[in-house]
């Protein structure tokens, strides 16, 4: 069985998940489920990034012990993913021993390569980003994303010889022209690397939190150097060597870490590189950037209460063109819910199954030529688009098939058909369409697909169907 390994970023636990985090995770889940449907052995890793100073700040703010706080938050992240039907096969936490062990090993490999040296860091650090910044990155002296002034840090740090890998990285890009999707973002990154790479600081003077530098516990490993390694510690070094990640799904904000620093770390540690990075754009809510201070960070669980998990998954994957920035709006969600889900898929499933129930056992027959062509088109179209990570287009192919099914019903009018055999044939064709739709849509809408499949029972005598509860009940 061929393997497929996909990851999400590991998320900071300074807060609970919002709709933006859910988006990246749902994208990875849809791909994981799609590959599972091809019969591949899928490893799907997500987790939490817990060694960040932000975690301690968040715990302190609540007056909670950081250790207790991270346990609580890791639990929240896990349960939100399970509520959103995320089918991860593992959940890595960077405070786990299995992670710390691998981080130590990689650090030592990088030391052996002669790529770590001690130097003086004199510069700016933004806690929000957990990243070193340059004056030129600031707007009016503030980090443009976090609107806070970065700290000025002067300390002895360990540095990683990133500059040494500039040529190798560019060569790797050239040999792997599909390494990063979308192309536009790959091109941006190439120009960035062509502009020259500087060595980076990979430790901070230890302030009681974080993984100690091997052999020097007065320093903690820089949280990004530690966090990236989760992709290896989640499966083990041996497994990574034999099968590195097929896809790292992430947001455009962290592309440099994954597309430049991570490959260089792996080259230095003499480990294989991931095969592909896919990066989603950022979205706003009703046109406004998601921010804690504005209080517009939508809680996916609140949305689920109203619309259900499948509707959130559908909306995000269909409405936001993958890779581009997009906008989340309640109005658009409501519109899609009503038009595409309730009146589209939900209605088609109810109609077909209601007609099928009236027949008890439906005799198996040959599927009509036009029907098999429509099914084949949808299957091929879906496969092509999803493999290009174009979810909106992939989903459209399924909805074309639903439309075809609706037209088929309206033209054949099985309820008015007096010839029983003809009527049964029509209904058999319709059930076959519905079954195919359930199969195709399962990576996107796993719950609805399962409900439809549970209503269709195939046996040697024929097909028996059950009536279905409305898949997408009206919401006010």
Distance CA(158)–CA(217), nearest Å, equals 12
Distance CA(71)–CA(264), nearest Å, equals 32
Our CA dihedral for 22, 27, 30, 34, rounded to 10 degrees, sits at -160
Of the two residues 246 and 424, which places its CB atom closer to ligand MSP in the complex?
A: 246
Distance CA(352)–CA(434), nearest Å, equals 8
Of the two residues 9 and 66, which places its CB atom closer to ligand MSP in the complex?
A: 9
Of the two residues 223 and 430, which places its CB atom closer to ligand MSP in the complex?
A: 223
Candidates 88, 181, 203, 280; binder of ligand MSP (CB under 6 A) is 280
Our CA dihedral for 161, 167, 171, 174, rounded to 10 degrees, sits at 110
State yes or no: residue 49 binds ligand MSP (CB under 6 A). yes
Using the contact rule CB under 6 A, the part of the chain among 75-83, 119-127, 247-255, 332-340 near ligand MSP is 247-255
Cβ neighbours, 10 Å, residue 238: 9
Output the smallest distance, CB 438 to ligand MSP, in A.
29
State yes or no: residue 181 binds ligand MSP (CB under 6 A). no
State yes or no: residue 250 binds ligand MSP (CB under 6 A). yes
Output the smallest distance, CB 317 to ligand MSP, in A.
13
State yes or no: residue 20 binds ligand MSP (CB under 6 A). yes
Of the two residues 222 and 307, which places its CB atom closer to ligand MSP in the complex?
A: 222
Output the smallest distance, CB 414 to ligand MSP, in A.
45
State yes or no: residue 9 binds ligand MSP (CB under 6 A). yes
State yes or no: residue 254 binds ligand MSP (CB under 6 A). yes
Output the smallest distance, CB 390 to ligand MSP, in A.
17
Of the two residues 279 and 426, which places its CB atom closer to ligand MSP in the complex?
A: 279
User: Which DSSP letter does residue 397 get?
Assistant: H
Q: Which tokens belong to 338?
A: 């009503």
State yes or no: residue 317 binds ligand MSP (CB under 6 A). no
State yes or no: residue 11 binds ligand MSP (CB under 6 A). yes
Residues near ligand MSP (CB under 6 A), total:
20
Where on the phi/psi map is residue 231: left (φ > 0), alpha (ψ -120 to 50), or beta? alpha
DSSP 19-54: HHHHHHHHHHHHHHHHHHHTT-EEEEEEEEE--SHH
Distance CA(327)–CA(109), nearest Å, equals 43
Output the smallest distance, CB 103 to ligand MSP, in A.
12
Q: Which tokens belong to 458?
A: 């195939």
Of the two residues 216 and 325, which places its CB atom closer to ligand MSP in the complex?
A: 325
Give the 3-state secondary structure of residue 197. coil
State yes or no: residue 323 binds ligand MSP (CB under 6 A). no
State yes or no: residue 227 binds ligand MSP (CB under 6 A). yes
Distance CA(172)–CA(183), nearest Å, equals 15
Number of residues that this document lists for the chain: 476
Cβ contact 423:355 at 8 Å: no
Residue 150, C-beta contacts closer than 8 angstroms, at least 6 positions apart: 124, 125, 126, 127, 133, 138, 143
Candidates 40, 64, 71, 253; binder of ligand MSP (CB under 6 A) is 253
State yes or no: residue 53 binds ligand MSP (CB under 6 A). no
Find the DSSP H helices in 155-203.
Answer: 166-175, 183-194
State yes or no: residue 394 binds ligand MSP (CB under 6 A). no
For tokens 């076959």, the residue is: 432
Output the smallest distance, CB 250 to ligand MSP, in A.
5
Distance CA(179)–CA(231), nearest Å, equals 17
Candidates 4, 5, 6, 21; binder of ligand MSP (CB under 6 A) is 21
Give the 3-state secondary structure of residue 218. strand
Closest to 395 (Cα-Cα) out of 312, 315, 328, 281: 315
Candidates 4, 12, 69, 382; binder of ligand MSP (CB under 6 A) is 12
State yes or no: residue 251 binds ligand MSP (CB under 6 A). yes
Output the smallest distance, CB 177 to ligand MSP, in A.
23
Detail the DSSP E strand segments found in 277-435.
277-280, 283-285, 288-289, 326-328, 361-362
State yes or no: residue 6 binds ligand MSP (CB under 6 A). no
Output the smallest distance, CB 281 to ligand MSP, in A.
7
Output the smallest distance, CB 372 to ligand MSP, in A.
39
Of the two residues 202 and 378, which places its CB atom closer to ligand MSP in the complex?
A: 202
Of the two residues 73 and 362, which places its CB atom closer to ligand MSP in the complex?
A: 73
State yes or no: residue 316 binds ligand MSP (CB under 6 A). no
Output the smallest distance, CB 251 to ligand MSP, in A.
2
Of the two residues 324 and 363, which places its CB atom closer to ligand MSP in the complex?
A: 324
Distance CA(240)–CA(109), nearest Å, equals 15
- Site residues (vs ligand MSP, CB under 6 A): 9-12, 20-21, 23-24, 49, 227-228, 230, 250-251, 253-254, 280, 282-283, 290
């Amino acid at each position: 069985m061929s393997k497929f390994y996909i990851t999400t970023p590991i998320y900071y636990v300074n807060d609970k998940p919002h709709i933006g985090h859910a988006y990246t995770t749902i994208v990875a889940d849809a791909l994981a489920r799609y590959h599972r449907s091809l019969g591949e052995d899928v490893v799907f890793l997500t987790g939490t990034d817990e060694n960040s100073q932000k975690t301690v700040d968040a715990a302190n703010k609540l007056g909670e012990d950081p250790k207790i706080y991270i346990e609580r938050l890791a639990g929240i992240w896990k349960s939100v993913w399970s509520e959103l039907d995320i089918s991860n096969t593992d959940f890595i936490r960077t405070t786990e021993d299995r992670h710390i062990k691998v981080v130590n090993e990689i650090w030592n490999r990088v030391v052996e390569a002669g790529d770590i040296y001690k130097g003086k860091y004199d510069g700016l650090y933004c806690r929000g980003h957990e990243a070193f910044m340059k004056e030129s990155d600031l707007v009016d002296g503030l980090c443009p994303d976090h609107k806070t002034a970065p700290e000025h840090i002067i300390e002895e740090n360990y540095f990683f010889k990133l500059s040494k890998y500039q040529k190798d990285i560019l060569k790797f890009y050239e040999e792997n022209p599909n390494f990063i999707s979308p192309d536009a973002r790959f091109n941006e990154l190439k120009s960035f690397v062509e502009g020259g790479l500087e060595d980076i600081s990979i430790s901070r003077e230890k302030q009681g939190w974080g993984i100690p530098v091997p052999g020097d516990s007065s320093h903690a490993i820089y949280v990004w150097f530690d966090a990236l390694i989760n992709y290896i510690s989640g499966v083990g070094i041996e497994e990574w060597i034999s099968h590195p990640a097929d896809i790292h799904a992430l947001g455009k904000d962290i592309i440099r870490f994954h597309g430049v620093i991570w490959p260089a770390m792996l080259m230095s540690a003499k480990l294989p590189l991931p095969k592909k990075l896919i990066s989603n754009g950022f979205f706003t809510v009703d046109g406004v950037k998601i921010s804690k201070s504005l209080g517009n960070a939508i809680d996916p669980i609140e949305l689920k209460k109203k619309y259900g998990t499948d509707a959130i998954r559908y909306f995000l994957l269909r409405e936001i063109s993958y890779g581009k920035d997009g906008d989340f709006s309640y109005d658009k969600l409501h519109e899609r819910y009503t038009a595409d889900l309730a009146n589209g898929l939900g209605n088609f499933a109810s109609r077909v199954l209601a007609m099928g129930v009236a027949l008890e056992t439906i005799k198996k027959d040959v599927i009509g030529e036009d029907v098999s062509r429509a099914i084949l088109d949808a299957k091929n179209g879906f496969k092509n688009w999803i493999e290009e990570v174009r979810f909106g287009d992939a989903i459209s192919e399924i909805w074309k098939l639903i439309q075809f099914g609706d037209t088929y019903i309206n033209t054949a009018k099985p309820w008015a058909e007096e010839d029983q055999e003809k009527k049964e044939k029509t209904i058999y064709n319709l059930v076959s369409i519905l079954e195919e739709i359930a199969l195709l849509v399962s990576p996107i809408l796993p719950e609805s697909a399962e409900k439809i499949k549970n209503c269709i029972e195939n046996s040697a005598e024929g097909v028996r169907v059950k009536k279905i509860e409305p898949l997408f009940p009206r919401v006010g």
